[in-house]
Amino acid sequence: MAVKIPQGVRGMNDTFPEESVAWQALEGDLRALLALYGYGEVRLPLLESTDLFARAIGDVTDIVQKEMYTFVDRNGDSLTLRPEGTAGCARAAIQARRLRGQTPRFYYLGPMFRHERPQKGRYRQFHQLGVEVFGLSAASIDAEVIALSARVLRTAGVTASLQINSLGSPAARLRYRALLLDYLRPRRAELCVDCRERMEHNPLRVLDCKVAVCQDIAHAAPRLVDHLDEDSFLHFNSLQGLLTALEIPYQINHRLVRGLDYYNRTVFEWVTDALGAQGTVLAGGRYDGLVAQLGGADTPAMGFAVGLERLLALQRLQSGVADVVPPLLFLGALEDAAVARTWQIAERLRDAGLSVVTGGPTHFKQLMKQAERSRARFQGMVGGEQLAGAALRLKEQAGNGQWQGSLNAIHEGLHSLGVDFPERAPHTVRNFATARTSL
Ligand code: HAM
């Protein structure tokens, strides 16, 4: 009877080494970039209490109503796999008392979970790099965070367009909400089914609906920007001046409202039409009320998250793919008796920071196949003759480079073939006292 092969969960992807290289390269570059702006990494749990997300993201958002992976654990507590990182980051900062008189800049990188309908660019487990800065309320920090987001895209080698908007203060938004409802109610029958449903509890979401009739109606709706409170209006103007000074082109999108409830004032998205329906690569904004709403002291905050799957998809389209770095050397053992010595040599070379893939013990033809598949730059085969003193032959697999000599002189052989030995081998013990940095 055929055994049923286990399948992964729909919308959750496996990533193999050929693809992981692009992830690793990007993650490494982004970590280095974040250090330039003074951000330090927070590593947060994947699970939080369900209540946190309901309070932070909002009870009537799509995420909380339809998309969370929620379960009751063995203690009877309701837990949820994080659908995003801002709520957990704020929770952690409050809990660890990191916000008192401080202005921390945090970033996180890892998986998020949303039970959405999977399609290209939309997954149920996806990955975000998120940044959050707390304690700063001026438009200057909005500009700096947006400049950082622009550089995230540049670092990845992609281009997209920046859209910004201001949601104003909660009070101004409430007044605007009433105006918008007055405008929408007589047009209710024309709206799509979803908008008809979401209109009463979250009318602003009608503004960014993708359905054509809803877009037409949204187009002619009263504009939020015309109903901002004065402080938010000045804040928005100041941000625009700074973006111009920093030479970051932007468009004001009056219908940009975001799908999470914690935002106020600045919201922004980097969008592209190169990715089909899932065109938002990076998104964020200001959320000055969230920390207080979660029980912390009144603390302004601002941040964004970039979807790494979408960023990498755009990178593939616009800059090509990063390739796996093949190992330097394939070292094969031709018989049992050669294994110990071959493995010793491989360990020695790895001590010196060179990458070595071993093969065997098996016959020559099989080893040659393995060597080719490894894509190593050089290959060498060790048998009884080499152990007894016959010359080892190192051969370049894709070129004509060759060296012959004693097994013990393999370092010199590689050197003569142009291999550079790294100054400090990786994975050697670091001096932790000097490596420690404070942010
Ligand atoms: P968000 O707009 O929900 O914001 O998500 C940010 C980004 O995550 C999106 O622009 C997209 O690239 C990616 N993303 C979201 N859902 C999926 C999915 N199902 N599949 C693939 N990628 C997805 C937030 O999460 C906020 N926490 C951002 C933020 C941080 N605001 C302030 N600080």
The domain that contains 57 carries what CATH number? 3.30.930.10
Considering the domain boundaries, does residue 179 fall inside one?
A: no
Q: Domain check: are 308 and 346 in the same one?
A: no
Does pLDDT of 315 surpass 80? yes
- Nearest residue (by CA) to ligand 1, atom 15, is 307
- Per-residue pLDDT for 176 more than 90? yes
Q: How far apart are the first and last CA of the chain?
A: 60
Q: Are residues 132 and 106 in the same domain?
A: yes
Q: Which of 272, 292, 318 is the last residue of a domain?
A: 318
Q: What is the pLDDT of residue 97?
A: 97
**Percent of the chain surpassing pLDDT 90:** 90
Confidence of residue 437 (pLDDT cuts 50, 70, 90): very low
Q: Tell me how far the alpha carbon of residue 84 lies from the centroid of ligand 1, in angstroms.
A: 7
Confidence (pLDDT) at 434: 43
Residue 177 CB burial class (10 angstroms; 0-12, 13-18, ≥19): middle
Q: Point out the ligand 1 atom lying closest to the alpha carbon of residue 116.
A: 19
Contact assessment for residue 151 and residue 215, using Cβ atoms and an 8 Å cutoff? no
Report if residue 205 sits inside a domain. no
Distance 11 CA to ligand 1 centre (A): 16
pLDDT of the residue at 423: 73
**Residue span of the structural domain in which 390 resides:** 329-438
Same domain, 29 and 162: yes
**Residue 397: its pLDDT value, please?**
97
What single-letter DSSP state applies at residue 122?
B
> Which of these three, 289, 318, 347, is where a domain ends?
318
**Ligand 1 pocket check for 142: Cβ under 6 Å:** no
Average pLDDT over residues 311-322: 92
Same domain, 267 and 165: yes
Q: What's the pLDDT score for residue 340?
A: 97
Q: What's the 171 CA to ligand 1 centre distance in angstroms?
A: 26
User: Are 278 and 390 part of one and the same domain?
Assistant: no
What's the total number of domains in the chain? 2
What pLDDT was estimated at residue 200? 86
334 with 311, same domain: the answer is: no
Q: Which atom of ligand 1 is nearest to the CA of 87?
A: 27
pLDDT for 431 equals 46
| 211 in any annotated domain | no
- For residues 150 and 289, membership in a common domain is answered with yes
132 and 243 belong to one structural domain: yes
Q: Is residue 207 part of a domain?
A: no
Residue among 307, 268, 271 at smallest CA distance from 129: 307
379-430 residue pLDDT tens: 999 999 999 999 999 999 999 999 999 999 999 999 999 999 887 666 554 4
- Using CA atoms, how far residue 175 sits from 81, 182, 235, in Å, is 34, 11, 19
Tell me, yes or no, whether 192 lies in a domain.
no
Percent of the chain with pLDDT over 70: 96
Q: Are 280 and 160 in contact (CB under 8 A)?
A: no
Could you tell me if 373 and 274 lie in one domain?
Answer: no
Determine the pLDDT at residue 427.
57
Last residue of a domain, one of 291, 318, 345: 318
Q: Confirm or reject: Cβ of 128 under 6 Å from ligand 1.
A: yes
Closest ligand 1 atom to Cα of 130 = 30
The CATH number of residue 409's host domain is 3.40.50.800
Q: Are residues 257 and 375 in the same domain?
A: no
* 184: confidence class by pLDDT, cuts 50, 70, 90: very high
